Structure 1
Amino acid sequence: MGKDEALAQVSEIATAMEQAAQALTPDVIRAARASTEGAERLQRMEDAINTIGKALILTDFKLDQSKDLDKLKGFRSQQS
Structure 2
Amino acid sequence: MPHVPKLSGITVAPHLSSAEWRKATRSNGHGGACVEVARNIPGIVAVRDSKNPDGPALVFNHDEWDAFLNGAVKGEFNLP
Would you say same fold, with TM above 0.5?
no
Q: Which has the higher contact order (CA 8 A, sep 6+)?
A: 2
Higher helix share: 1
**Over alpha carbons, which structure has the higher Rg?**
1
TM-score in terms of structure 2 length? 0.29
